[in-house]
Structure 1
Amino acid sequence: MRSSLVNLLVCTFLVKVSNSENTFENVTVVLARNDVPETTVATFDSLKEVIPDVKDEVRITGNVPILYENSIFDVPSLFSLDLSNVGLEEIKPGAFGNVPLLNKLVLNSNNLTEIQSDTFTDLNVRYIDLSSNSIFLLQPGAFTNFKAYYVTLENNKLTELSSGVFENVTLGILNLGSNSLYTIAPKALSTLGLTRLNLFGNNLEEIDPDVFDMQELTSLSLNYNSIKSLRSGDLRNLPQLDDLWLSGNELEEIPEGVFNNTKLAYLHLDRNHIAEIGSQAFDNMSALILLNIDSNNLTQWDNDWLSGVSRNAFISVGHNLISEIPDEAFKNYPQVASINLQGNKIRNISDNAFDQLEIINHFNLAYNEIDNWDSNLLDNVIILHLDLRKNKLKCIEGDLSEIFRKVQLIGLENNPWDEECAKKIGEFQNKRNWISSWDRYQLD
């Protein structure tokens, strides 16, 4: 049993030195090994001396305020190094060198305030974590001849990103979320080869095509910034962009020419202040899977917003101020996966609202103010799941089995049904074995 577990080689160092530039003093080094028993080492002169010449994952605990030059140097077996929460305040240039196997470097939850030039020169790692420090400055050349798949600088105090910070650098994913960035220099990120960029929770006010000039980028998070407007052509230098997050900004309008003819599959515009969407603003988004405009200030549904969208699209415009569904509201996408209009102010539905809509998987009209349901509304549309819960329906006249004959599951609960109508609905649900249709769907 013991041989199948990962044993820990714990080395405790009580170093008494006069050299003020000694990095490691009174620290514990834990080597994750599965082929040696636990061993205690009294003293050491360098990190290299306590790491055998085999691939190792190393965690250091204690107080390490400064990494001096050559602190982590000439350790060819080092695979992973964790220096999180050790009180680190400064990394001197040249602290890292000749660590060809280093795959993971964790420096989070320390007291770093800046990254100096040449700090990470010539490093080739997969993952580096600098999150949850107090970094307000990345000096030009901080990352030089550097290669990594994922770098996170999340939850720091950066206010700007200047050009030259990344010189001859290749990255896959860069996380700059939860900083205070208000400006990024043009082309500062353009040559990195990024596929994903997280700028969540900063202070950016626009999408500048000179800044967002990343030909390989597929995912961009700009949630909870201060973006006030979008312009035609803002995304012109992001040809591969598939996933765009703009939730929680200060947008009031979506004009035409921003998203048209893009490859976007996922577009998040929820939690803004959007009151107006230009006609055809979402036309020709043939790859669209999710359009989320929840929790905005829209007062009407425009049947010309979209055309040419995928039949797999999920269109969510919940928790707005829409009061009616107009004629042929869904004419431009006769087959679509889902439409969510939950939590609006919808009271009126045009007699022809569903004309030209052929089939839809989920249609959510719950938590609105619908007080009348025309018996012919759904004559020509197949709906797998229809949600009419929590409206103001007192009765639906006519044969419910006929009215909802093309609906597979329906939610009718929590309406103020008249006594006789409530009895009719109960019989209708029992007849189709829908004792609680929507609850059953939710359970599935």
Structure 2
Amino acid sequence: MEILTRQSFMCLKNLQHLTIAENKTFQKIQCRVIDFTQSKIEFVADGAFDGSHIDTLYFFNNKLLSHNYFLWCLEFKNLRPSVFSCLNKLENLDISNGSLEIIENGAFIGLEKLKSLTLSSNKLTHIGRNIFEKLINLNSLILRNNKINNIDDKTFDKQTLSTLDLSYNELKFISKYTFYGVKCKWLDLSNNKLTSIESGAFENINLDNLYVGNNDKLIENYDAWNVDESKIQTDCIIQGILRICTKLNSLSSVDVIIHDFSPDFSLPSSKLELSGISSIGRNAFNNSNINVYFKILEIHYTGNHEFIIYPESFESLINLEDLILNVGATTLTSNLFDKLKSLKYLKIQVIETIQYLSQVLINLKSLRTLEIIGNKTIGICQNVYSKNISNSIVDIRYVSGEIDELPENSFICMPQIEVLTITKTNLLIIQAGVFNLLKLKITFTHLAANQVTRQRYNDDI
């Protein structure tokens, strides 16, 4: 299909989601018009029209229209004025992986409720100034992987976007007026052919993240661009659908690269596992487009230097439940985990030179399981802050380390403990009275792989 006309979508006035992509049922046919109006069609298979040349296709008044999106996968080269004018309830439009070359002024007339527009993986070369002016509620604009080499000045004027993705195009120059008048949180210009960005190009845009990586000839002048250097990402890798960015080996941002928009978008996993970093930067997750999806964060580090984290490292991870730090000993600082209001499981090896572990745990009101690696002693209840530890902790584990004795009152501040594990240590002596306060609650005790013998247990166990 080469042309969509104004009549192509007439009468679909209640449609909310439309995807035009690639398909396989009426394959390799040549036809000017195919009319499926009132045909009781409920499903169009992927690739239904692969290899076909069709000028106009009608799908009016079919049960298919009640679905959130279509997988028609039809190819066309031109979007003409008012082509979507009947779809005044449409919120999400995806025209990806096709042959689209030209968007005429007025093509999006009638789409005042549109929130997301994806035009990725087409053959666009030029974006004209007035193309998007009618999209007053647009939030996400994805133009990645085209051949765009020219964007008119003030093309995005008066738009307020969370995401503007222009990555994998052929842009060479950004003028001070290219993004004039736009408000945008997340701007991706990576993997272009940029050599120069004019002074003031990003002034007053309110960017949270600017991606300019893989523009090998770009001369970086952050001050002249009017962007805080902390918000500029240049060293990024792709891990599945995630873009993970670092600065000097410190994690600086994590985002999903949305190739094809889906109204029911979800991550394949709620777990994020990272390695190869030596610290988590301040606000690394604060501006992420998926921070609320993560429930498990696991980090591996085996370097010679101490792994560094800050209280701000966990900003906005409001649903994180498990934090697994396989990173060696970490210095505890004030309010280190206070941002993690939903945290239920914490695995950590600690250095208590600045703060006691008990101080850091005070505000973790949802924490249930605490796993402490490599300690020399069990002193969690042996300082003035211990009495304030949350009573939500019911499972405490000490694994490895040089612990050789379990003193009386080791857990006097945690009478609610139900599960106690001390394993792979040098534990040899268990003093009398250790378990007196725990008798009513404790349901499981694991003391395997230590040096203690049964004769050394006391009557209170």
Q: Which residue of 2 aligns with 1:130?
A: 142
| Count of aligned positions | 370
1:370-390 deviation digits (Å, cap 9, x = unpaired): 543323322234555665354
2:170–2:192 CA contact under 8 A, matched in 1: yes
Shift of residue 27, structure 1, vs aligned partner = 8.6
Greater share of strand: 2
1:335 aligns with 2:368: no
1:10-409 alignment runs, 5 A limit:
37-38=40-41, 59=70, 61-70=72-81, 72=83, 74-75=85-86, 77=88, 79=90, 82-94=93-105, 96-103=107-114, 107=118, 110-112=121-123, 116-118=127-129, 119-126=131-138, 128=140, 130=142, 133=145, 139=151, 141=153, 143-145=155-157, 147=159, 151=163, 153=165, 157=168, 162=174, 164-170=177-183, 174=186, 191=204, 209=228, 212=231, 224-228=244-248, 248=274, 252=278, 270=299, 275=306, 277=308, 282=311, 294-295=324-325, 297-302=327-332, 304-306=333-335, 314=343, 318=347, 322=350, 329-330=356-357, 332-333=359-360, 335-337=362-364, 338=367, 342=371, 344-350=373-379, 354-358=383-387, 359-360=389-390, 361-362=392-393, 364-369=396-401, 371-372=403-404, 373-382=406-415, 384=417, 388=421, 390-392=423-425, 393=427, 396-402=430-436, 404=438
When structure 1 is superposed on structure 2, of 92-101 and 384-393 the one drifting more is 384-393
d(CA) in 2 for partners of 1:356, 1:101: 57
d(CA) in 2 for partners of 1:310, 1:406: 33
Shift of residue 391, structure 1, vs aligned partner = 3.4
Q: Evaluate the alpha carbon distance shift between residue 98 and residue 253 of structure 1 in structure 2; reply closer, same or farther with a 3 A threshold.
A: closer
Q: Which residue of 1 aligns with 2:263?
A: none
Q: Evaluate the alpha carbon distance shift between residue 333 and residue 62 of structure 1 in structure 2; reply closer, same or farther with a 3 A threshold.
A: closer
d(CA) in 2 for partners of 1:276, 1:282: 14
d(CA) in 2 for partners of 1:109, 1:351: 54
d(CA) in 1 for partners of 2:374, 2:214: 33
Q: Evaluate the alpha carbon distance shift between residue 341 and residue 311 of structure 1 in structure 2; reply closer, same or farther with a 3 A threshold.
A: closer
Aligned CA RMSD, in angstroms, stands at 6.5
1:59–1:83 CA contact under 8 A, matched in 2: no
Q: Evaluate the alpha carbon distance shift between residue 227 and residue 117 of structure 1 in structure 2; reply closer, same or farther with a 3 A threshold.
A: farther
SS at match of 2:410: coil
SS at match of 1:123: coil
1:227–1:249 CA contact under 8 A, matched in 2: no
SS at match of 2:430: coil
d(CA) in 2 for partners of 1:191, 1:406: 62
2:117–2:142 CA contact under 8 A, matched in 1: yes
d(CA) in 2 for partners of 1:325, 1:419: 31
Q: Specify the code of the residue in structure 1 equivalent to 2:107.
A: F
d(CA) in 2 for partners of 1:313, 1:211: 27
- Relative contact order, CA 8 A, sep 6+: which one is greater? 2
| TM-score (norm: length of structure 2) | 0.52
Q: Specify the code of the residue in structure 2 equivalent to 1:402.
A: N
| Structure 1 gaps, min length 5 | 1-5, 7-11, 17-24, 214-221, 235-245, 429-444
d(CA) in 2 for partners of 1:325, 1:44: 71
| TM-score (norm: length of structure 1) | 0.54
2:373–2:399 CA contact under 8 A, matched in 1: yes
Q: Evaluate the alpha carbon distance shift between residue 388 and residue 275 of structure 1 in structure 2; reply closer, same or farther with a 3 A threshold.
A: same
d(CA) in 2 for partners of 1:385, 1:200: 48
Shift of residue 225, structure 1, vs aligned partner = 0.9
1:319–1:342 CA contact under 8 A, matched in 2: yes
2:422–2:447 CA contact under 8 A, matched in 1: yes
d(CA) in 1 for partners of 2:275, 2:214: 10
Identity over aligned pairs, percent: 10
Q: Evaluate the alpha carbon distance shift between residue 95 and residue 164 of structure 1 in structure 2; reply closer, same or farther with a 3 A threshold.
A: same
Shift of residue 51, structure 1, vs aligned partner = 6.2
Q: Which residue of 1 aligns with 2:45?
A: none
Q: Evaluate the alpha carbon distance shift between residue 81 and residue 269 of structure 1 in structure 2; reply closer, same or farther with a 3 A threshold.
A: closer
| Structure 2 gaps, min length 5 | 1-14, 16-25, 43-52, 233-241, 253-271
1:175-194 deviation digits (Å, cap 9, x = unpaired): 859x6599997876674567
d(CA) in 1 for partners of 2:154, 2:35: 27
Q: Specify the code of the residue in structure 2 equivalent to 1:376.
A: N
1:216-270 deviation digits (Å, cap 9, x = unpaired): xxxxxx972121278xxx9xxxxxxxxxxx9958764689xx68xx9xx999895
Q: Evaluate the alpha carbon distance shift between residue 252 and residue 424 of structure 1 in structure 2; reply closer, same or farther with a 3 A threshold.
A: same
2:210–2:231 CA contact under 8 A, matched in 1: no
